[in-house]
Amino acid sequence: MDEISQSQKERIAHIDFRLFFLGSIGRNDLVNRFGIKPAAATRDIALYRKRAPDNIEYDTKAKLYVVASSFSPLFEYHPDRVLSALSLGLGDDRVDGNKPFINCETPSQLSKPNLEVLAVISRAIYSRQAVKIEYRSISSGFTSREVVPFSLVDNGLRWHIRAYDRRRDRFTDFVITRITNPLLLPESEILEEEQSSADIQWNRIVELEIVAHPLLDHKETIEIDYGMTDGILGINVRAAVAGYLLRRWNVDCTAKGVLEGAEYQLWLGNRQALYGVDNLIIAPGFNQDPL
């Protein structure tokens, strides 16, 4: 599709998305989503039909274009992005808001980042600048420090930043909701040891083998539920976030899989892979059988 403009490519992708996941597309859908004229919407649909004639049919009764039984998507879709679009709407960068495509109930987050704080942090990450922050932690209380952030991290419950902490001379995570009064430091030089390439835990990839919990009676249910192959769900994850993943999914990390309770459906089959991972204090049961 290199011969068409980026804006038209986005509209073609929107047609493909709606057909694939909603089953229909009309001119008004494009008009309302992109603010174009009806004639332009007609041309977009005609272009899509030309490129994928087997994907789309016209329903004369409904006066809508509908998905054909022979549909094959023109674009690749990631499940996380699809679920986000279906539940929150497309175009999160738009200021007028969006409505979800279908009814979808998601658990409420108990803490949400302050957008003014997030904006400064995201600018620091994008422009590779240091930032001065005020931070409140459970262990240290209120402190002021300089950090060099390089990535946002979602642990499933709240958002962090991964950053070099100049106060403690090491890489660590900071909870965004505990940050106040961030200030960019554009004149501050970023040293080589403060860059993400020097973060060993971030750059180390851990290969986890997650299996059905040994105490379950019907392990095949979990194997199907998580799409396991030969009874194993293989996941490659950064060492810096391995503990978050294991805690989020209640993966029993004891040596023999002895944690009891309905929440423990998974067990880590190769716990030796966790050797040297720093944030395992939060992994379920790991402290019972340290490596």
Q: Is the full-model pTM beyond 0.85?
A: no
pLDDT for 220: 97
| Dihedral over alpha carbons 157, 81, 151, 98 (to 10 degrees) | -80
Domain count, the chain: 3
Element (H, E) at 32: helix 27-34
Distance, CA of 60 to chain centre = 40
Share of the chain above pLDDT 70, in %: 96
Q: Which amino acid is at 279?
A: N
- Report the mean per-residue pLDDT for the chain: 91
**Which of 45, 75, 105 is a domain's end point?**
75
User: Do residue 219 and residue 182 come from a single domain?
Assistant: no
Are 179 and 168 in contact by the 8 Å Cβ rule? The answer is: no
Are 206 and 238 in contact by the 8 Å Cβ rule? The answer is: yes
* Confidence tier at 171 by pLDDT (50, 70, 90): very high
**Which of 15, 46, 75 is a domain's end point?**
75
With a CB cutoff of 8 Å and minimum separation 6, the contacts of 71 are: 19, 20, 54, 55, 56
Give domain status of residue 97, yes or no.
no
DSSP string, 83-150: HHHHHH-S-TT-SS----SS----PPPS----HHHHHHHHHHHHHT-EEEEEEEETTTEEEEEEEEEE
Give domain status of residue 233, yes or no.
yes
User: Do residue 187 and residue 242 come from a single domain?
Assistant: no
**Which of 167, 200, 233 is a domain's end point?**
200
User: Do residue 235 and residue 280 come from a single domain?
Assistant: yes
Are 167 and 146 in contact by the 8 Å Cβ rule? The answer is: yes
* Confidence tier at 91 by pLDDT (50, 70, 90): low
User: Do residue 267 and residue 280 come from a single domain?
Assistant: yes
User: Do residue 122 and residue 172 come from a single domain?
Assistant: yes
Are 125 and 149 in contact by the 8 Å Cβ rule? The answer is: yes
Give domain status of residue 235, yes or no.
yes
Q: Which amino acid is at 192?
A: E
Who has greater pLDDT, 164 or 291?
A: 164
User: Do residue 209 and residue 258 come from a single domain?
Assistant: yes
Most confident of 20-24, 99-103, 216-220, 287-291: 216-220
Closest CA to 45 of 33, 61, 56: 56
Give domain status of residue 80, yes or no.
no
Q: Looking at the predicted structure, is the pLDDT value of residue 94 above 50?
A: no
For 39-60, what is each residue's pLDDT tens digit?
999 999 999 999 999 999 999 9
* Both structure tokens of 227: 């799409």
pLDDT for 40: 96
pLDDT for 2: 65
Give domain status of residue 94, yes or no.
no
pLDDT for 197: 97
User: Do residue 152 and residue 175 come from a single domain?
Assistant: yes
User: Do residue 62 and residue 50 come from a single domain?
Assistant: yes
Q: Looking at the predicted structure, is the pLDDT value of residue 291 above 80?
A: no
Are 203 and 197 in contact by the 8 Å Cβ rule? The answer is: yes
Domain with 57 in it: what CATH number?
Answer: 1.10.10.10
User: Do residue 208 and residue 195 come from a single domain?
Assistant: no
Q: Looking at the predicted structure, is the pLDDT value of residue 92 above 60?
A: no
Q: Looking at the predicted structure, is the pLDDT value of residue 71 above 60?
A: yes
169, burial (CB in 10 Å: exposed 0-12, middle 13-18, buried 19+): exposed
Q: What is the mean pLDDT of residues 120-146?
A: 93
For 99-109, what is each residue's pLDDT tens digit?
677 777 777 77
Structural domain boundaries, residue 234: 204-288
Domain with 189 in it: what CATH number?
Answer: 2.30.30
User: Do residue 186 and residue 121 come from a single domain?
Assistant: yes
User: Do residue 139 and residue 193 come from a single domain?
Assistant: yes
Give domain status of residue 104, yes or no.
no
